[in-house]
C-alpha cells in the first residue's frame, strides 16, 4: 500500500529540502526522501552541501584561519602566542558538530513544516493514474506516490580516469575534509574552487601544498584583474600552483602517492606526497534513481535535461540543483527549488541566472556577480570600469587585511552595473550589496550616492562605484 503525496522530493540537499519546505508552505502534502547516512547510520539530510561541502569546508577554513592568524598575525597586534598547536582531531570533531547541527536543523524544519521525511534511496517504479510511484529503500521498504516529483539528487566528485578515490591516499572532497593528521606534502589536482579552498586549509596547518592545474590560465572564469591579484596573494602565502600541466600516471603505495605530470614547458616531472586531493569538477548524480523506468531524459554528461523552468522530459517531474545544467552552487539549487515549488502552485517562480553570486572562501576571499571584463570585451560591449583598493580603506587597515580591491563594471551609456568583482577581506559578505543592486538594475551612480557606514569595508564598494566616474574620494 503506497502513501500518497501531492509533491515528492527525491534528495534532501539544499535544492531538495528547500523545495520541500516551500511546497509545504504553499499548502501541499509533501514527502522528502534522502539517503545520506551519518556515522551511526542515521539520517543526515542536507546533501553534499551540509555533509561534505559548503558547511564543513567553511568550518575547516575558519579553524585553519585562526591558526594562521595566531602564528603569523597576532604579533602585529601586540599579542604573543608562542608554541601554538593544532589538535586536528578536535578541529575535525568541531567540524562534525557543526555538520550535525545543520542535519538536525533540517530535520526540525521538516517537522515544523509538516514535511514527511523518508530515510532511504528513492527510485522511480512507474507512472500511474495517481502520479509517479517511488520505491524508498532504506532501513525499511516503503512505496510513495507523488502527483508531482522534484528530483534533487545532486552531484558526485569526478575521479581521474583510472584513479579511483580510496579516501585514504587519493581523496575526493569527502576524504579531504577528514584527514587525520597534517600531511607533510599534499598535492591537489585542479586549482578550481575546491582545490583553492582545501589547499588553503592544509597549507595554513603546515602542509607543503602543490596544486596542479590543467589549464594555462588561473581561475579562467574570474575577472582577469581579480584572478591576478588573488594569484599574487596565494604565491606570497606559499601555495604552489602549477598551471598548464598534463597529469600522467598516479601511483599509490604504502608511503603515499606519486604523481607524474608534464609541466607547461613540456618537461616530465613527478611529485611525491602523503595525500592527493583530486578536485577536477563534479558529475551529476542519478545513481539508483532508476530514471529509465519512467523514461526520464538525461544528457551526455548524465545531467537531467530540463527547460529554463526546471521541467524535465516528463510531465509532472521537475529537477533542480547540481543534477541539472548551470552552476553547481547551493544557493542556485535553493533558488531553483523555491521556484519549482511556486510553479507547481501556479505561481511565477523565477531564478535570475545573471545575478547568481560566486564566492571562493580563500584568504583573500574572491567574490563576483555578473560579467567579467574579458566577457564584456569578447562581446564588444561599451563599458566603464572603476576599482578601489582595500589598501585605502580605513576598516581594512584597522583589520590588518588590506589585500585586494573592489571592481565595478558599468554600461558606458546607461551606467547600469554589469558586473562587480571583489578580492579581499569579507568579499563573501560585500558581494550581497552588488547582487541587490544588479537585481534592481541599479547604476554605478546609485551605489556611489548611497550612504555607507564608516568605517566599513563596504565603503570600498561605494568608492569603486565612484571610481567608475573617476571621482573616488579616498584614493
Ligand atoms: P546535493 O547537496 O548533492 O544533495 C543531493 C542529496 O540527494 C544528497 O543528500 C544525496 O544523498 C541525495 N540522493 C541522491 N540520490 C538519491 C536517491 N535516489 N534517493 C534519495 N536520496 C538521494 N556551494 C556553494 O554555494 N557554496 C559553497 O561554499 C560550496 N562549497 C562546497 C564545497 C565542497 C567541498 C563541495 C564538494 C561543494 C561545495 N558547494 C558549494 C557546492 C554545493 O555543495 C552544491 O552545489 C549543492 O550541495 C547542490 O545541492 P543539491 O541539492 O543539488 O545536491
Ligand atoms: P572546478 O570546476 O571549480 O575546478 C576544477 C579545476 O580542475 C578546473 O580549473 C579545471 O581546469 C581543472 N581540471 C580539470 N581536469 C583536470 C585534469 N585532468 N588535470 C588538471 N586539472 C584539471 O571544480 P571543483 O573545484 O572540483 O569544484 C566543483 C564544484 O563545486 C565547483 O565548480 C563549484 O560549483 C562547487 N564548489 C563551490 C564552492 C563555493 O561556492 N565556494 C566551493 C567548492 C566547490
So which residues are the catalytic ones? 454
Q: What is the pLDDT of residue 2?
A: 85
Give the span between the Cα atoms of 220 and 206, in whole angstroms.
28
- Are the C-beta atoms of 54 and 330 separated by less than 8 Å? yes
Q: Is residue 213 within 6 Å of ligand 2 at its C-beta?
A: yes
* Atom from ligand 1 closest to the CA of residue 155: 3
Q: How far, CA to CA in Å, does 61 sit from each of 244, 275, 302, 360, 413? A: 27, 19, 31, 11, 42
374 HSE (CA, 13 A, CB side): 10
For helices 330-344 and 14-25, give the axis angle rounded to 10 degrees: 30
Q: Is residue 321 within 6 Å of ligand 1 at its C-beta?
A: yes
Reported pTM: 0.98
Instruction: State which of 49, 102, 110, 151 you would mutate to test the pocket of ligand 1, scoring each by most atoms of that ligand within 8 A of its C-beta.
Output: 49
Smallest-distance ligand from the CA of 283: 2
* Atom from ligand 2 closest to the CA of residue 54: 42
Cα 401-407-410 angle, rounded to 5 deg: 160
Helix/strand/coil for 262:
strand
Q: Is residue 106 within 6 Å of ligand 1 at its C-beta?
A: no
In the chain, the largest separation of any two C-alpha atoms, in whole Å, equals: 73
101 HSE (CA, 13 A, CB side): 9
H or E element that contains 224: helix 224-237
Nearest CA residue ID for atom 36, ligand 2: 193
Q: What is the pLDDT of residue 287?
A: 95
Helix/strand/coil for 310:
coil
Q: Is residue 284 within 6 Å of ligand 1 at its C-beta?
A: no
* Atom from ligand 2 closest to the CA of residue 327: 34
Residues in the chain: 475
- Are the C-beta atoms of 168 and 340 separated by less than 8 Å? no
Question: Which three cell numbers mark 185?
Answer: 606534502
The Å distance, Cα 207 to ligand 1 centre, comes to 28
- Are the C-beta atoms of 99 and 55 separated by less than 8 Å? yes
The Å distance, Cα 259 to ligand 1 centre, comes to 29
The Å distance, Cα 97 to ligand 1 centre, comes to 19
Nearest CA residue ID for atom 8, ligand 1: 47
* Atom from ligand 1 closest to the CA of residue 16: 51
Q: Is residue 190 within 6 Å of ligand 2 at its C-beta?
A: yes
Residue showing cell 595525500: 275
- Are the C-beta atoms of 363 and 352 separated by less than 8 Å? no
Report residue 272 CA to chain centroid gap.
29
Residue 389 CB neighbours (<10 A): 20
- Are the C-beta atoms of 58 and 141 separated by less than 8 Å? no
Domains assigned to the chain = 3-157+283-351 (3.50.50.60), 170-280 (3.50.50.60), 355-467 (3.30.390.30)
Q: Is residue 154 within 6 Å of ligand 1 at its C-beta?
A: yes
Nearest CA residue ID for atom 19, ligand 2: 214
Q: How far, CA to CA in Å, does 87 sit from each of 92, 96, 205, 390, 456? A: 9, 14, 10, 33, 34
Nearest CA residue ID for atom 23, ligand 2: 281
Give the span between the Cα atoms of 374 and 227, in whole angstroms.
12
- Are the C-beta atoms of 91 and 130 separated by less than 8 Å? no
Question: Exposed, middle or buried, 141 (CB in 10 Å: 0-12/13-18/19+)?
Answer: exposed
Cα 232-233-239 angle, rounded to 5 deg: 95
Q: Is residue 244 within 6 Å of ligand 2 at its C-beta?
A: no
Q: What is the pLDDT of residue 139?
A: 87
Nearest CA residue ID for atom 14, ligand 2: 280
Low-confidence residues of the chain, pLDDT below 50? none
Give the span between the Cα atoms of 34 and 10, in whole angstroms.
6
Amino acid at each position: 500500500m503506497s502513501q500518497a503525496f501531492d509533491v515528492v522530493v527525491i534528495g534532501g540537499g539544499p535544492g531538495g529540502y528547500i523545495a520541500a519546505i516551500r511546497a509545504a508552505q504553499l499548502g501541499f502534502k509533501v514527502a522528502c526522501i534522502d539517503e545520506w547516512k551519518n556515522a551511526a547510520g542515521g539520517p543526515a539530510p542536507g546533501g553534499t552541501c551540509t555533509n561534505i561541502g559548503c558547511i564543513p569546508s567553511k568550518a575547516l577554513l575558519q579553524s585553519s584561519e585562526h591558526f594562521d592568524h595566531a602564528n603569523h598575525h597576532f604579533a602585529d597586534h601586540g599579542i604573543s602566542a608562542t608554541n601554538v598547536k593544532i589538535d586536528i582531531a578536535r578541529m575535525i570533531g568541531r567540524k562534525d558538530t557543526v555538520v550535525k547541527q545543520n542535519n538536525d536543523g533540517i530535520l526540525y524544519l521538516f517537522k515544523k513544516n509538516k514535511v514527511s521525511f523518508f530515510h532511504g534511496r528513492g527510485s522511480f517504479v512507474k507512472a500511474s493514474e495517481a502520479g509517479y510511484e517511488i520505491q524508498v529503500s532504506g532501513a525499511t521498504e516503503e512505496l510513495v506516490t507523488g502527483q508531482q516529483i522534484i528530483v534533487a539528487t545532486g552531484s558526485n566528485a569526478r575521479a581521474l580516469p583510472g584513479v579511483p578515490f580510496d579516501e585514504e591516499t587519493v581523496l575526493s572532497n569527502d576524504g579531504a575534509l577528514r584527514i587525520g593528521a597534517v600531511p607533510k606534502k599534499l598535492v591537489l589536482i585542479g586549482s578550481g574552487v575546491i582545490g583553492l579552498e582545501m589547499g588553503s586549509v592544509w597549507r595554513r596547518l603546515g602542509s607543503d601544498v602543490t596544486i596542479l592545474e590543467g589549464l594555462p590560465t588561473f581561475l579562467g572564469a574570474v575577472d582577469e584583474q581579480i584572478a591576478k591579484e588573488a594569484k599574487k596573494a596565494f604565491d606570497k602565502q606559499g601555495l604552489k600552483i602549477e598551471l598548464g600541466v598534463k597529469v600522467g600516471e598516479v601511483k599509490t603505495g604504502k608511503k603515499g602517492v606519486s604523481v607524474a605530470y608534464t609541466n607547461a614547458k613540456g618537461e616530465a616531472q613527478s611529485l611525491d606526497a602523503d595525500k592527493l586531493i583530486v578536485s577536477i569538477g563534479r558529475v551529476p548524480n542519478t545513481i539508483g534513481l532508476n530514471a529509465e523506468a519512467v523514461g526520464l531524459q538525461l544528457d551526455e554528461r548524465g545531467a537531467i535535461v530540463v527547460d529554463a523552468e526546471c521541467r524535465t522530459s516528463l510531465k509532472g517531474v521537475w529537477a533542480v540543483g547540481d543534477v541539472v545544467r548551470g552552476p553547481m552552487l547551493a544557493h542556485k539549487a535553493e533558488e531553483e527549488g523555491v521556484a519549482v515549488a511556486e510553479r507547481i502552485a501556479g505561481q511565477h517562480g523565477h531564478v535570475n541566472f545573471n545575478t547568481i553570486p560566486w564566492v571562493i572562501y580563500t584568504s583573500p576571499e574572491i567574490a563576483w556577480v555578473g560579467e567579467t571584463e574579458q566577457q564584456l570585451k569578447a562581446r564588444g560591449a561599451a563599458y566603464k570600469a572603476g576599482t578601489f583598493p582595500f589598501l585605502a580603506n580605513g576598516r581594512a587597515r584597522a583589520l590588518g587585511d588590506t589585500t585586494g580591491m573592489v571592481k565595478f563594471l558599468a554600461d558606458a551609456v546607461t551606467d547600469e552595473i554589469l558586473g562587480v568583482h571583489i578580492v579581499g577581506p569579507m568579499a563573501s559578505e560585500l558581494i550581497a550589496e552588488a547582487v541587490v543592486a544588479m537585481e534592481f538594475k541599479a547604476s554605478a551612480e546609485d551605489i556611489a550616492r548611497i550612504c555607507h557606514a564608516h568605517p566599513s569595508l563596504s565603503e570600498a564598494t561605494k568608492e569603486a562605484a565612484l571610481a567608475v566616474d573617476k571621482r573616488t574620494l579616498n584614493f
